[in-house]
Amino acid sequence: MNNEVIISCAVTGAGDTVGKHPAIPVTPRQIADAAIEAAHAGAAIAHLHVRNTETGKAGRDLANYREAVKLIRESGVDVVINLTAGMGGDYAYDPKNPGIPGPGSDLADAAERVAHVEELRPEICTLDCGSLNFGNGAFLATADLLRDMAARIQKAGVKPEIEAFELGHIWLAKQLMAEGLIDNPPLFQLCLGIPWGAEATTEAMLAMRNHLPPECNWAGFAIGRNQMAFVAQAVLLGGNVRVGLEDNIWLDKGVHATNGTLVTRAKEIIERMGARALTPAEARVKLGLTKQR
């Protein structure tokens, strides 16, 4: 069991949740306010996506990242900023034109996927370590593209959070480590319940944990109604936790959550288990971070 737990809050994500919840953060101001709310509730890390401010759909506009990060940094609230680098890999299959990415595809090279990371230099950014069937489409991240991304992230002085959706992603991450593209100690995020990756089961999380390199820090989560159960599960297996509106929009049946209430609930679970939630300063020490301001 982990007795000193880092809570990460994924405040908005890229999913189709606008319209399903009355207050999904969309604008840079809303996203920054959500990160600040999560920090006040006890999150040490805020994980950020940005969205198209007109449609609310997934986006990767550098200006929106720039504004959201600026607002958080100028707020005076201490929180570790973790920017996604997962955008730019969406592939939609069109059976009428199988050789051409279909409507809804968003494919970018390594330079585009990490441009905001290289400019803004957050303390952490994600590195989705492999391709995956994702709902009715696919997420594409080839080994050579990941080598390029990892090298750029490393040069920027940012710690990659290796997002693993199945065992092969952990294997590929360990290869990148062996090639010197990911520095020690590595940081992993085990992502469960996302169709069609690892299922949200104790057996799946345990198997993934058992394949992690021994020197790593790790966290894990499950989406939807399994979110809080896997807060407890991750802590019991020795990991840190993630909650937030990216992964789950409900606090209780019929009750919409906020990022703050999800963090508060996670913190209560952690404390009732006899553990405690770490502050951002303590999380930096545990993860070997150098604070970027």
- What are the pLDDT digits (tens) for 14-52? 999 999 999 999 999 999 999 999 999 999 999 999 999
Q: What is the pTM of this model?
A: 0.96
Phi and psi based region of residue 104 (left: phi greater than 0; alpha: psi -120 to 50; beta: remaining): left
Rounded (to 5) percent helix, strand, coil in the chain: 35, 20, 40
**pLDDT (average), residues 227-236:** 98
Does residue 91 contact residue 56 with C-beta atoms inside 8 Å? no
Domains, the chain, ordered by start: 4-287 (3.20.20.70)
User: pLDDT tens digits, residue range 71-104?
Assistant: 999 999 999 999 999 999 999 999 999 889 999 9
pLDDT band at 136 (very low <50, low <70, confident <90, very high): confident
Residue 291 in this model has a pLDDT that exceeds 60: no
**pLDDT (average), residues 207-213:** 98
Q: What tokens does 257 get?
A: 């959550």
DSSP string, 1-60: --SEE-EEEE-S-SSS-BTTBTT---SHHHHHHHHHHHHHHT-SEEEE-EE-TTT-SEE-
Does residue 278 contact residue 286 with C-beta atoms inside 8 Å? yes
Residue 292 in this model has a pLDDT that exceeds 60: no
